[in-house]
Amino acid sequence: MKNEHINEKEIQQYILAKDDCDINIIEHINHCQKCKAEVELYKLLFAAIKKEPNPVFEFDLVNLVMQQVSEKQNFSFDKYLIAILSGVSIAVISILIYLTNKYFPTLFNGISFIQFSLIAVTILLISIFIYIDMNKNYKDQMNFS
Ligand SMILES: [Zn+2]
């Protein structure tokens, strides 16, 4: 029999794996009231831990994720809306130019095809840069940090 009281690690081993326990420890627990009481205390503690329900998320995780997914879908819908609006704007401007051209026959006669192409390419490049910048800003905002 062990003369000194057994430590907490040995008590836990005694409860969880009695078969692997040192015979001296078992002997000591059988004879020492203090250690026996401690073993009972640990047994109660382990039982309480077993009864504790598994941790559950306080919030509805699925709902939260689905909300973000639908928000992303809304964004792609916005993109379509912007594209449609741009198309309509271009069509309206073209019609206006066509109609006003009647009253200003010399308005577009003054510029050559190359000059017109340069203007068109510049407008296109600026539009692309604005779009890339918008996209980058959006991605930065979507970064949850
Ligand atoms: Zn003891």
Q: Do 127 and 70 fall into the same domain?
A: yes
* 23 Cα–ligand 1 center, Å: 14
Q: Do 72 and 123 fall into the same domain?
A: yes
Query: 3-class secondary structure for the chain?
Result: CCCCCCCHHHHHHHHHCHHHCCHHHHHHHHHCHHHHHHHHHHHHHHHHHHHCCCCCCCCCHHHHHHHHHHHHHHHHHHHHHHHHHHHHHHHHHHHHHHHHHCCCCCCCCCCCHHHHHHHHHHHHHHHHHHHHHHHHHHHHHHCCC
What predicted TM-score, i.e. pTM, was given to this entire model?
0.37
Q: Do 12 and 67 fall into the same domain?
A: no
pLDDT in tens, 15-51: 888 888 889 989 999 999 999 999 999 999 888 888 8
* 122 Cα–ligand 1 center, Å: 89
Q: Do 42 and 106 fall into the same domain?
A: no
pLDDT in tens, 119-136: 889 999 999 989 888 888
* 7 Cα–ligand 1 center, Å: 9
Residue 3 lies in a domain: no
* 132 Cα–ligand 1 center, Å: 74
> Is the predicted pLDDT of residue 1 greater than 60, yes or no?
no
Q: Do 65 and 26 fall into the same domain?
A: no
Q: Do 122 and 89 fall into the same domain?
A: yes
> Is the predicted pLDDT of residue 13 greater than 60, yes or no?
yes
Residue 56 lies in a domain: no
* 142 Cα–ligand 1 center, Å: 61
Q: Quote the mean pLDDT of the chain.
A: 81
Number of structural domains, the chain? 2
